[in-house]
Structure 1
């Protein structure tokens, strides 16, 4: 999962959210979806933090 790009992770999160809103999943499926969503959120936050650090470094060097 760590090889996903930010946009891909966000798209998957949107799919999961839509499926959760439909309410047609079993408890087991919901549990797996929530775990996957948590991992995707963690990945997105990490990518955003990395990008923020890269931007800050570029400004510091300028």
Structure 2
């Protein structure tokens, strides 16, 4: 069974893909596949960042309400 993807793992894979593309070590045959995977990883990371931002804002809001009460 596959482990759930973490932000760190997704980011590391994105860096590997970017480096391979920049170094031109990705063959034309797999370039589209790598770009598609990079797109999926970017969407995953953006979702994680949005969820984290929402959670942090909620915690800060609760802390502010608690200190004002």
TM-score, reference length from structure 2:
0.81
Deviating 4+ runs (over 2 angstroms): 24-28
1:40-51 equivalent positions in 2, closer than 5 A: 40-51=41-52
Q: How big is the alpha-carbon RMSD for the aligned residues of Structure 1 and Structure 2? A: 1.4
Alignment of 1:15-30 (within 5 A): 15-30=16-31
Q: CA deviation at 1:26?
A: 2.7
Query: Size of the alignment, in residue pairs?
Result: 61
Structure 1's unaligned 5+ residue stretches are none
Structure 2 residue runs without a partner (length 5+): 64-69
Structure whose alpha-carbon radius of gyration is higher: 2
Higher relative contact order structure (alpha carbons within 8 Å, sequence separation ≥ 6): 1
The TM-score, its normalising length taken from structure 1, stands at 0.89
